[in-house]
A and B are shown apart, each in its own frame.
Chain A
Amino acid sequence: MNALTLTFTLNGNNISMDISPDTLLVDLLRDRLGLTGTKVGCREGECGACTVLLDGIPVNSCILPAAKVQGRSLTTIEGLADEKRQLHEIQQAFMDEGAAQCGFCTPGMIMNAKALLDRNAEPNDQEIRRSLSGVLCRCTGYQKIVQAVATAGEMKKSQG
Chain B
Amino acid sequence: MQDKTEGKGMVQVLTKEKPDLDGLLTAPDRKLSVAGHSITRTDDLAKVTGKLMYGADYPQEGFLHGKILRSPHPHALIKAIHVEKAQELPGVVAVLTGKDVPGRNGFGAILPDQPVICADKVRYVGDGVALVAAETEEIAHEALSLIRVEYEVLPAVFDPRDAMKPNAPKVHEGGNLLQKNKLRKGDVEKGFAEADVILKRTYQVPFLEHAYMEPDITFAVPQRDGTMLVEGPMQAPFTVRRNIAAVLGVPVNQVRARQIHMGGGFGGKEDSPIDIGCRAAVLAHHTGRPVRIALEREEITIQTCKRHPMIMQLKIGARKDGKLLAFEGVIYDEQGAYAGLGPLIPPAGGSHIHSMIMMPGPYEIPHAKVDAYLCYTNHPYGGAMRGFGAPQVHIAHEQLIDELAGELGLDPFDVRHINAFRLGSATATGQVLDQSVGLLDTLEACAESFDWKERFGRNDYLDAESSKRRGVGIGMGWYRTSIGTNGDGCGANVYVHEDGSVLLYSGITEMGQGAFTVLPQICAEELGVSMEDVRLVKPDTDQVPESGPTVGSRSTTLMGNAIIMAARQVKASILEMASEMLLVPVERIETKNRLVYDREDPTKSLAFKEVAARCMAMGKRLIGQGWWTPPASSLDPETGQGNPYFVYTYSTHMAEVLVDVETGEVDITDYVAAFDVGKAINPKAVEGQIEGGVAMGLGYALMEEVAMVDGVPQNINLQNYLIPTTLDVPHIKPIILEVENKLGPYGAKGIGEMPNIPATPAILNAIANACGGRVRSLPADPEHVFMAIREAGGPPER
* Interface positions of A (Cβ within 8 A of B): 30, 35-44, 46-47, 49, 76-78, 80-83, 87, 90-92, 94-96, 98, 100-107, 110, 125, 128-130, 132-147
Contact = CB atoms under 8 A, between A and B. Distances in A.
A139 B41 contact: no
B347 interface: no
A80 B690 CA distance: 30
B68 to A, nearest CB: 18
A150 to B, nearest CB: 11
Interface stretch (B115-123, B302-310, B721-729): B721-729
A81 B40 CA distance: 19
Contacts of A40: 56, 215
Contacts of B693: 141
Given A104-B213, A136-B723, A141-B695, A36 B729 contact: no
A44 to B, nearest CB: 6
B726 A101 contact: no
B513 A101 contact: yes
Contacts of B696: 138, 141
29 contacts: A30-B57, A36-B56, A38-B50, A41-B215, A42-B297, A46-B719, A76-B50, A94-B44, A94-B48, A98-B38, A100-B41, A100-B48, A101-B512, A102-B262, A102-B263, A102-B512, A103-B263, A103-B512, A129-B727, A136-B723, A138-B696, A140-B691, A141-B690, A141-B691, A141-B732, A142-B691, A143-B691, A143-B732, A146-B726
Contacts of B685: 98
Contacts, number: 174
Nearest to A126: B727
Lowest 6 CB-CB distances: which A-B pairs, in order?
A37-B50, A102-B512, A104-B263, A103-B47, A77-B50, A141-B695
Contact of B687 (A35, A76, A144): A144
Contacts of B512: 101-104, 139
A144 B44 CA distance: 14
Interface in B30-62: 38, 40-41, 43-54, 56-57
B430 interface: no
A101 to B, nearest CB: 4
A90 B48 CA distance: 9
Contacts of A102: 212-214, 262-264, 511-512
B718 A42 contact: yes
A40 B717 CA distance: 13
B731 A133 contact: no
Contacts of A46: 717-719
B414 interface: no
A131 to B, nearest CB: 8
A107 B50 contact: yes
A49 B213 contact: yes
B362 to A, nearest CB: 23
B692 interface: yes
A19 B246 CA distance: 45
Nearest to A77: B50
A106 B47 contact: yes
Contact of B50 (A41, A43, A78, A98): A78
For the complex, would chain A's binding face be called helix, strand, loop or mixed by DSSP majority? loop
A136 B57 contact: no
Contact of A37 (B49, B514, B725): B49
B694 interface: yes
A138 B47 contact: no
B717 A44 contact: yes
B725 A133 contact: yes
Interface of B: 7-8, 38, 40-41, 43-54, 56-57, 210-215, 261-264, 266, 296-297, 511-514, 684-685, 687-688, 690-696, 717-719, 723-727, 729, 731-732
A57 to B, nearest CB: 19
A40 B694 CA distance: 25
Given A90-B48, A110-B48, A138-B723, 13 more contacts: A46-B719, A49-B213, A77-B50, A92-B48, A100-B47, A103-B43, A135-B726, A138-B696, A139-B213, A139-B264, A139-B688, A142-B691, A144-B691
Given A138-B212, A142-B726, A147-B8, A44 B49 contact: no
A87 B718 contact: no
B719 A44 contact: yes
Contacts of A101: 264, 512-514, 688, 692
A76 B50 CA distance: 9
A83 B51 contact: yes
Contacts of A103: 43-44, 46-47, 52, 261, 263, 512
A100 B8 CA distance: 16
A24 B750 CA distance: 43
Contacts of B49: 37, 77-78, 80-83, 87, 91
A104 B48 contact: no
Nearest to B512: A102
Contacts of A129: 726-727
A46 B47 CA distance: 21
A43 B297 contact: yes
Contacts of A133: 725-727
B54 A140 contact: no
A83 B50 contact: no
Contacts of A128: 726
A138 B692 contact: yes
Contacts of A87: 48-49
B514 A95 contact: no
A144 B48 contact: no
Nearest to B48: A91
Nearest to B210: A138
B691 A95 contact: no
B726 A140 contact: no
Nearest to B262: A102
B513 to A, nearest CB: 7
B136 to A, nearest CB: 12
**Which of B8, B43, B215, B732 gathers the greatest number of chain A CB atoms within 10 Å?**
B215
Contacts of B213: 39, 41, 47, 49, 102, 104-105, 136-139
A114 B53 CA distance: 22
B47 A140 contact: no
A124 B704 CA distance: 29
B65 to A, nearest CB: 13
Nearest to B698: A141
Nearest to B263: A104
A136 B718 contact: yes
A36 to B, nearest CB: 4
A46 B296 CA distance: 14
Contacts of A138: 210-213, 264, 266, 692, 696, 723
Contacts of B687: 98, 144
A100 B718 contact: no
B684 A98 contact: yes
Contacts of A134: 725
Nearest to A81: B49
B719 A143 contact: no
A142 B263 CA distance: 16
Contacts of B43: 103
B360 to A, nearest CB: 29
Contacts of B44: 94-95, 100, 103
A89 to B, nearest CB: 11
A114 B124 CA distance: 45
A30 B50 CA distance: 12
B393 to A, nearest CB: 23
Nearest to A112: B726
Given A37-B49, A83-B51, A104-B263, A144 B726 contact: no
B26 to A, nearest CB: 26
A30 to B, nearest CB: 8
B657 to A, nearest CB: 17
